[in-house]
A = this chain, B = another copy of it.
Amino acid sequence: MTRRNFIEKSGNSYLAMMALGFFPEAPAKSFDLARNEKPNGKKVIILGAGLAGLASAYELGKLGYDCVVLEARERVGGRIWTIRKGTTETEIGGEKQTCQFDEGYYLNAGAARIPHHHHLTVQYCRELKIPVEIFGNLNEAGFQYSESNRGALANKRVRAREIHADMRGYLTELVAKAIDQQALDLEMSKEDVDRYVAWLREEGDLDINKKYKGSERHGYELAPGAGMRGGTIAKPYALKDIVESGLTHPAFANVGEYTFNQQPVLLQPVGGMDMIPKAFEKVVGDKVKRSCEIQEIRKTNPGVRIVYLDKKTGQKHEVKGDYCICTLPLPILKGIPSDLSGDVQRVADFVPYMETCKIGMQFKRRFWEEDDQIFGGITKTNMDITQIFYPAHGMLGPKGVLKGMYNFHGLAKKVGELSIADRQKLAFEQGSRIHPQYKDEFENAFSLAWHKIPYSKGGWGIYSDAARQRLYATMTKNDDDIYFAGEHASNLPAWMAGAFESARYAVELLHKRVSAG
């Protein structure tokens, strides 16, 4: 029986395809945890109402557990945070900011994209009826700007498409030439070598003589139009100029095209990433106690006892449960007195969190669209701001908020140490080199350094290969009656999928144990 026969003969093509391994990338498990909803007599205290905490409460609720989610902030969502008019924040040791964006404009301060293959994130959007749209990660019209003291293209904005087209043109020309000179043995038949050369010509847009003489893929000096305007293709850059100017640096590589997690298509919720925590809030919001700062995590063997401060009353309280799912970011966990094992405390001590800054800048008009035809996507630089993100929503509207900076590590540390005004000045000055329109169009900004945000203290957990090997396993096991979830407790650090997958994993682990009695 052939594959196709098998599928055709089967009553259910989906199950048949599963059996045949048609979905190798899909998770092995079904998404539906049993819907029990009868109280099972067990109480679970969840620490943190970020995505991992909310999803844990949601899944445990389906299974009949009694849950309470303790959250230090007034809002749910953790690092899934959308900055809007009136949002306020005071960083650790910092000044209070209040967002001045116009009504309807926003910045996704934390997670901003959903890879198409992040099954569980997509499935929660489906299940909780969160409308999604395409997040245009990859944009050939985005700019690259290399600050450099050498190279003809240094300190100039060039389009991503220009570098892509030219680099691929020169590369394929090299190989086609080597094949012609019989300098390469491809170990293929003549017919297949011809096919390969046809591919090289297509990949690089080589001419009939297999030379790269430029390409419309690089763009036009004057685009084709009506009348006798047939279009004038721009001259390619010299390979030497591209390399000298630093534009071949991996920092400019188009991750949107390349890495598995950023390959098109990516999605985003319509209206802001906080539509995800808001949707969870609708189904488990009644279980969340806000303004409750965790102060102690204790084992009562069996069970747990959690001490928290009610920030509104200034009173300390404690709550007891049979189990705990702890989703607190490690830099927060580290500072909390607890009975956690030495293994867990080592993870908290030795897994650093990403320093990362963002700034949302509101402009009077969407000049990146109007003047530069940029609809979503990213401009890459080697300046402190590192990247500029253009909104993939509200397109053609009157105003816009762009992300004028997204940086990491040392650059983010440096920027994070600046005052709010100086961060804005820096983003403004560096961004202006690429978009001189900043000067006329800027209205207001809101910046943040995640490593200075209370109750987060960082962007995400950074596991070196060694740390992954030595420390990570601890996050996947219970420490007596305490379980762990959050992106740092997954193999998908920094992604919402990591929070969701780890929450499902912790719930399954816990439920399996309870079910075994």
Chain A contact residues, CB within 8 Å of chain B: 4, 7-8, 12-14, 16-17, 22-28, 116-117, 119, 122, 125-126, 130-134, 136, 138-141, 161, 167, 171-172, 174-175, 178, 183-184, 186-188, 192, 195-196, 198-200, 202-203, 205, 216-217, 219-231, 234, 239-240, 243-244, 246, 248-250, 253, 257-260, 263-265, 267, 367, 369, 371-377, 392, 395-396, 433, 436-437, 439-440, 468, 473, 476, 489-492, 498, 501-502, 504-506
**29 interchain pairs, CB-CB under 8 A:** A4-B433, A8-B439, A12-B440, A13-B436, A14-B371, A25-B222, A26-B371, A116-B139, A116-B141, A122-B396, A131-B396, A133-B395, A136-B265, A140-B265, A171-B200, A174-B175, A192-B243, A195-B249, A196-B248, A198-B248, A199-B249, A203-B253, A216-B259, A217-B260, A224-B491, A226-B476, A226-B502, A265-B392, A267-B375
Enumerate chain B residues within 8 angstroms of A267, measured Cβ to Cβ: 375, 395
Q: Are A195 and B243 touching (Cβ within 8 A)?
A: yes
Q: Are A134 and B7 touching (Cβ within 8 A)?
A: no
Enumerate chain B residues within 8 angstroms of A199, measured Cβ to Cβ: 167, 243, 248-250, 253
Q: Are B265 and A198 touching (Cβ within 8 A)?
A: no
Enumerate chain B residues within 8 angstroms of A501, measured Cβ to Cβ: 225-226
Q: Are B223 and A140 touching (Cβ within 8 A)?
A: no
Among A17, A243, A372, A440, max chain B CB count under 10 A is at A243
Enumerate chain B residues within 8 angstroms of A184, measured Cβ to Cβ: 174, 178
The residue from B140, B253, B468, B492 contacting A225, defined by CB atoms under 8 A apart = B492
Q: Are A27 and B248 touching (Cβ within 8 A)?
A: no
- Least CB distance from A129 to B in Å reads 8
Q: Are B260 and A132 touching (Cβ within 8 A)?
A: no
Closest to A21 in B: B221
Q: Are A225 and B136 touching (Cβ within 8 A)?
A: no
Q: How far is B433's CA from A90's CA once the two chains are assembled, in angstroms?
A: 57
Enumerate chain B residues within 8 angstroms of A225, measured Cβ to Cβ: 27, 490-492, 501, 505
The copy count of this chain in the complex is 2
Q: How far is B222's CA from A348's CA once the two chains are assembled, in angstroms?
A: 28
Enumerate chain B residues within 8 angstroms of A264, measured Cβ to Cβ: 136, 138-140, 264, 377
Enumerate chain B residues within 8 angstroms of A136, measured Cβ to Cβ: 134, 264-265
Enumerate chain B residues within 8 angstroms of A234, measured Cβ to Cβ: 24
Enumerate chain B residues within 8 angstroms of A373, measured Cβ to Cβ: 25, 116-117, 119, 122
Known interface pairs A12-B440, A433-B4. Does A396 touch B17 (Cβ–Cβ under 8 Å)? Answer: no
Enumerate chain B residues within 8 angstroms of A437, measured Cβ to Cβ: 13-14, 17
Enumerate chain B residues within 8 angstroms of A22, measured Cβ to Cβ: 371, 436
Enumerate chain B residues within 8 angstroms of A491, measured Cβ to Cβ: 224-226, 229-231
Q: Are B195 and A258 touching (Cβ within 8 A)?
A: no
Q: Are B141 and A117 touching (Cβ within 8 A)?
A: yes
Enumerate chain B residues within 8 angstroms of A228, measured Cβ to Cβ: 473, 476
Q: Are A188 and B221 touching (Cβ within 8 A)?
A: no
The residue from B14, B222, B505 contacting A367, defined by CB atoms under 8 A apart = B14
- Least CB distance from A296 to B in Å reads 27
Known interface pairs A4-B433, A24-B234, A492-B225. Does A198 touch B371 (Cβ–Cβ under 8 Å)? Answer: no
Q: Are A217 and B8 touching (Cβ within 8 A)?
A: no
Enumerate chain B residues within 8 angstroms of A468, measured Cβ to Cβ: 230
Known interface pairs A132-B396, A225-B492. Does A25 touch B265 (Cβ–Cβ under 8 Å)? Answer: no
Q: Are B203 and A167 touching (Cβ within 8 A)?
A: yes
Q: Are A223 and B117 touching (Cβ within 8 A)?
A: yes
Enumerate chain B residues within 8 angstroms of A28, measured Cβ to Cβ: 222
Q: Are B198 and A249 touching (Cβ within 8 A)?
A: yes
Q: Are B7 and A265 touching (Cβ within 8 A)?
A: no
Q: How far is B161's CA from A501's CA once the two chains are assembled, in angstroms?
A: 24
Enumerate chain B residues within 8 angstroms of A187, measured Cβ to Cβ: 240
Closest to A247 in B: B199
Known interface pairs A133-B134, A226-B476, A243-B196. Does A260 touch B436 (Cβ–Cβ under 8 Å)? Answer: no
Closest to A27 in B: B225
Q: How far is B372's CA from A26's CA once the two chains are assembled, in angstroms?
A: 8
Q: How far is B192's CA from A240's CA once the two chains are assembled, in angstroms?
A: 8
The residue from B138, B171, B229 contacting A138, defined by CB atoms under 8 A apart = B138
Q: Are A227 and B263 touching (Cβ within 8 A)?
A: no
Q: How far is B267's CA from A134's CA once the two chains are assembled, in angstroms?
A: 11
Starting from the known contacts A8-B436, A22-B371, A195-B243, 10 additional A-B residue pairs (CB-CB under 8 Å) come to: A13-B439, A132-B395, A133-B133, A138-B264, A140-B265, A167-B199, A171-B172, A217-B263, A229-B491, A265-B377
Q: How far is B141's CA from A124's CA once the two chains are assembled, in angstroms?
A: 20
Q: How far is B222's CA from A222's CA once the two chains are assembled, in angstroms?
A: 47
